[in-house]
Amino acid sequence: MDKSQIIEQNDLLRRKLIEHLSQFVLEHRFDLFQRVLSKRTRYVTVVLEDIFQSQNASAVLRTCDCMGVQDVHVIENRNRFKIDSEVDMGASKWLTIHRYSGDDDVTAKALTAMKRKGYRIVATSPHVNDCEVGNFDISRGRFALIFGTELTGLSSQAMNLADDYIRIPMFGFTESYNISVSVALTLYEVMGRLRESGININLSETEGELILLDWLRLSVKSSKLIEQRFLNDLNLSILY
């Protein structure tokens, strides 16, 4: 069996599994999953560098879910990313969270990996070559908005690796917004413009199916057992 046949077989099996698991959730919930997926995007992603206040971290996740941003990338240089369930309100379970930690070059490795996937790294920080978020060019392909720690902002590594720099207008005495407010304001601006632009920001069919399958697994009680029985009945295995 060649690679294309394997992919085709796995695509078929994934769809059969979705169809099977969907029988164990209410129809209106499955419809909700599909409606939400139709608005999800990976054209924009959010990167959080060294966020240490769980309330802020959780508020960011909640905003990403509400805005339709599927992926959040978490860089842990010194601070462990923690979620406050009371603030998060369950948003994190519907998101794809990528964590980067373990050595001194976490930021560089994370951002370099994202560049390889075609993302422009956009630093949300005042810079000599910055522009206001409302003037940022959203048409040049996928971009990752990176936000820094509450006290000191983005690291020098993050700033050096950034491809673009944006700022949020401020008119008071304080020098910055709270991190969760910054994310909310930035996403509200860029997502609003993207949805009106005609740019295709939707998930691919395969991406949508994989996420839908994850959501069903989270929603169906004893989903692992049900799935295993289903696969045994088919006498097939699925590649994860």
| Unique residue bearing structure tokens 């304001």 | 185
Least confident of 27-31, 77-81, 133-137, 193-197: 77-81
pLDDT at 237 over 60: no
Which domain covers residue 7, as residue numbers?
3-36+204-234
- pLDDT given for residue 205 in this prediction: 95
The CATH number assigned to the domain holding 148 equals: 3.40.1280.10
- pLDDT given for residue 236 in this prediction: 53
> What pLDDT digit, counting tens, does each position of 183-200 carry?
999 999 999 999 999 999
Q: Quick one: average pLDDT of 24-48?
A: 97
Residues 73/98, Cβ–Cβ less than 8 Å: yes
Whether 240 is in a domain gets the answer no
Say if residue 182 is in the same domain as residue 209. no
What is the number of domains present in the chain? Answer: 2
Say if residue 15 is in the same domain as residue 123. no
> What pLDDT digit, counting tens, does each position of 83-103 carry?
777 787 789 999 999 999 887
- pLDDT given for residue 174 in this prediction: 83
Whether 50 is in a domain gets the answer yes
- pLDDT given for residue 239 in this prediction: 44
State whether residue 232 is helix, strand or coil. Answer: helix
What are the distances in angstroms from CA 233 to CA 118, 139, 217, 228, 230?
40, 47, 18, 9, 5
Say if residue 25 is in the same domain as residue 132. no
Say if residue 113 is in the same domain as residue 170. yes
The residue ranges of DSSP E strands in 60-199, in sequence order, are 71-76, 96-101, 120-124, 131-132, 143-147, 164-167
Retrieve residue 1's tokens: 């069996």
Say if residue 17 is in the same domain as residue 72. no
Say if residue 8 is in the same domain as residue 114. no
Say if residue 215 is in the same domain as residue 181. no
